[in-house]
Amino acid sequence: MPVLYDLMAGAILARRQVLCTHHGARREVCPIMLGRKNGAACVLTWQFAGTNEKGEPVQGGWKCLPLDEVSDVRVHDGPWYAGDSPPRAQAWLDDVDIDVAHADRPRRRP
């Protein structure tokens, strides 16, 4: 898991897209925040393409992904999408380590 955490942290700091699989769905996301929810490492993302668990196309939406449920992760070059409105960290994560809005001063080093 530390490798995946570091990969997501690097993607946030460099504002790079991430392609991954979560619950059988192919996700194309921009990671926005990295931290913990109920003690589990999670990444808050803006999903700009890919599919949901039902196989339906997704073209924009917030998704909080527990890192232990993510596989086939690849950092990808492409346009950065930051979502339709700034997310409230408290609604998604209990503790935030890195936030793209404050990437110049992460709480925890990647």
Reported pTM? 0.89
What pLDDT does residue 67 have?
Answer: 97
CA 8 to chain centre: 7
Cα 60 from Cα 46, distance rounded (Å): 7
Q: Which CATH number belongs to the domain containing residue 63 in this structure?
A: 2.30.30
Q: What is the pLDDT of residues 18-71, one digit of tens each?
A: 999 999 999 999 999 999 999 999 999 999 999 999 999 998 999 999 999 999
Q: Is residue 107 part of a domain?
A: no
Choice between 40 and 90, residue whose per-residue pLDDT is larger: 40
Q: Is residue 91 part of a domain?
A: yes
Segments forming the whole domain that contains residue 90:
2-101
Q: Give me Rg for the CA atoms of the chain.
A: 13
Q: Is residue 106 part of a domain?
A: no
Q: Is residue 90 part of a domain?
A: yes
Q: Is residue 68 part of a domain?
A: yes
